[in-house]
Amino acid sequence: MKLAALFLLALSAGMAGAADLAAVTSQGAGALTLLDPASGEIRATVPLPGKPAAVSVDAARGRILAVAVETKRLHIFDLTGRELRQVALEGAPFGLAVDPATGLAYVSDWEVPRVFEVDPGTGAILREIATGPTPSGIAIVDGLMVTADRDANALSLIELSSGATRTVPVGEHPFGLTLHEGRAFTADVLANTVSVVDLATGKTVATIPTGERPYAVAFALDEGFVTDQYGSTVTVFDVGRLEVTGTIDVGEYPEGIAPTSDGRSLVVANWFSDSVMVIDAASHEVVREITMPEGPRAFGAFVAAVP
């Protein structure tokens, strides 16, 4: 009992000392910016050449990962922005996810229908996993990898241990992909919808209308939030009813979106406005706008609580 109490006390102390870090890739500027969404303070901006887009913060292992599309490299940084290593990849690497259980990185290839499995600790490419054509967004939970296969208008549900794969049809050109409460939510860019797929059954259970050219999906306070590139808006829907409840005006060509660790705010990267906005999840109001280097995209799980 005493050991359990001490563990809980230590855990609480660690969480109390944590603050959110947003790692924002700027494709035009070739930069990675680390900022505090709560205060708007920019902690660091470091060079990241090669037109970076996808990014993921692995707070548990003290790493930030980003994919440079033009130079075909996976860059690995510590939480201060110090580069640890680079991993050269083939094809046209784009999407990125980190398995929360293992810390392994998964990078999708637009040129060949595959995902690279990479050990960020060593830089070793462990294997290639077959997907549908033009895999874009990636998400992983409990040994299941889900890829949004853009040109197949489908999701691939792949068991990482066995390679067993199920294919689920969704809307036209699925791109951003987020898992939430046993379901996959994918932004169908050309259909102007979000497809909702039950991971257990592999069936599409709902289709939610969005603004024009949806790109990515995030969740906070029992609502889903979808960036609409052409609309310069975020579409909001109720997670229980799977119905649209409103829209939020944001900057021009919004792309990446992610919740803060307390679920009370969302961070949105506005590609053409060169800014990041922070949205209050309860009021749906933009409470902060932070100027970014040219072309912020932040595609992926780019916000996390760090020590």
Q: Is residue 70 part of a domain?
A: yes
Q: What percentage of the chain's residues is helix, strand, coil (to nearest 5)?
A: 5, 55, 35
Nearest alpha carbon to residue 213 among 169, 264, 171: 171
Which run of H or E residues covers position 144?
A: strand 144-149
Distance from chain centroid for Cα 210: 19
**pTM of the shown model:** 0.93
| The predicted structure's pLDDT at residue 7 | 32
User: For every one of its 307 residues, what pLDDT tens digit does the chain have, with 9 covering 90 and above?
Assistant: 333 333 333 334 444 568 999 999 999 999 999 999 999 999 999 999 999 999 999 999 999 999 999 999 999 999 999 999 999 999 999 999 999 999 999 999 999 999 999 999 999 999 999 999 999 999 999 999 999 999 999 999 999 999 999 999 999 999 999 999 999 999 999 999 999 999 999 999 999 999 999 999 999 999 999 999 999 999 999 999 999 999 999 999 999 999 999 999 999 999 999 999 999 999 999 999 999 999 999 999 999 999 8
Residue 87 near residue 106, CB atoms below 8 Å: no
| The predicted structure's pLDDT at residue 223 | 99
Q: Is residue 14 part of a domain?
A: no
| The predicted structure's pLDDT at residue 307 | 87
| The predicted structure's pLDDT at residue 18 | 82
Q: Is residue 83 part of a domain?
A: yes
Report the C-alpha gap between 228 and 214 in whole angstroms.
4
Q: Is residue 122 part of a domain?
A: yes
Q: Is residue 296 part of a domain?
A: yes
Q: Is residue 10 part of a domain?
A: no
Q: Is residue 87 part of a domain?
A: yes
Nearest alpha carbon to residue 212 among 159, 270, 254, 262: 254
What is the domain range of residue 62?
Answer: 19-306
> Domain tally for the chain?
1
| The predicted structure's pLDDT at residue 4 | 35
Strand partners, 165: 158
Q: Is residue 13 part of a domain?
A: no
CATH of the domain at 163: 2.130.10.10
